[in-house]
Structure formats: C-alpha cells, structure tokens
Amino acid sequence: MLIKVCGLRVPDQVDALTDQVDFVGFIFYSKSPRAVEFAPKSMKANRVGVFVDEELSLVKTYIRSEQLDIVQCHGHESPEYCSELRKHAQIIKAFGVGPDFDFKQLSLYTDCVDYFLFDTKTPNHGGSGIRFNWDLLEQYTLEVPFLLSGGIGSTEIPSIRSFKHPQFAGIDINSRFETEPGDKNIEQINTFIHEIRTHQIAQS
C-alpha cells in the first residue's frame, strides 16, 4: 500500500518521514494554511507538488525548480491541462467526493493521469479532517489506481484494512496528524505507518 503524507512545512519532519513513506506532498496553493514556497531538496520519497487551478506555466516552473516527481491537481483542472503537465511529471488528479458525485466524469481523465485521489468534498480543496463515505467508491469501475484521502487518522486503521477495491493503491494523510496546520506529529505518523505496514506483511 502506498502512503502519502501531505501538507508538510517543517524540514526536520520531512527528513524524519522521507524513508518511511512513498510520497511527500508540498502545497503550493497560497490560500492553504499549509502553503509553502519551496520544497526541501534532499529526500528519498517522491516529491509531490499540490496545486489548485494554477497557471500551467507556473506549475512547469515549479516542476523544474522544486524537482517535483508528481503534480497533484486539486482544483477543477481539465483533462487537457493534466495531459499537458503529464509531459513533465506524473499526475494525481484529486476529486472531492460527496453523495452526488458523478463518477462518469472520471472517464475523461483516464489517459492523462497516473492516479486519482478521492478526498472529502469541501469548499476549501481538502484538509477538512472529515472522512467521506467510502462505500460510494463501489461506483468507481475504471482502471486508474486511486488514493484514499480525507479525515484519515489512526482510528481508521481497521477500516483501511477491511477496505477492498481492485484499484485501491494507497492512502493520503494530513490534518488528522497535526498539532497545527503544517506541523505534523511524527511519532503518531510513525506508529500509524508501522501498524499499516505490519498488517500488510502479515497478509502477504
């Protein structure tokens, strides 16, 4: 299972996690309380830049300057937008999921993204600390793998273990492991990762 930690701002915390997780997310969205202007350069995990409806030229600049492996498009970016960026980095396209979410729209993105990320639908583009109803993902039938996001904390470990979907690739954690926006509790994250990984090994 892939594990992504998003919204990091403290360099020491990045250093503490880079060997433990697959993706580290840096939010380049000025309206976010977790926004950063640059990402630490030395790390082993894949570097993810999170953007919300940003100009293509600026995202491309960040890909080069911050050595981003992956761009997470967390706004209303079109398939054409994602396709253009995919020439320069892998793409995660995020969608806020609620009871009225139209899964049919995702078919337009299947050839231009590497992962979908399903988050809780909010007006603030994520970071709500609220979990959506994962049963809704029974409606997802495409081949693109996805990450689960939105309100995932230690109490969700049993649900993660029992969640079954052929395209479920991993999880994205953020606000439920914070003392304040952007300041993570590394001890809690390490405990969470250990419990997830230990269960994986036991099941393999």
Active site (catalytic) residues:
6, 119
3-state secondary structure the chain: CEEEEECCCCHHHHHHHCCCCCEEEEECCCCCCCECCCCCCCCCCEEEEEECCCCHHHHHHHHHHCCCCEEEECCCCCHHHHHHHCCCCEEEEEEEECCCCCHHHHHHHCCCCCEEEEEECCCCCCCCCCCCCHHHHHHCCCCCCEEECCCCCHHHHHHHHHCCCCCEEEEEECHHHEEECCEECHHHHHHHHHHHHHHHHHHC
Place of tokens 């409806």: 53
Residue (of 118, 121, 80) closest to 98 by Cα position: 121
Residues 6 or more apart whose Cβ sits within 8 Å of residue 44 = 18, 19
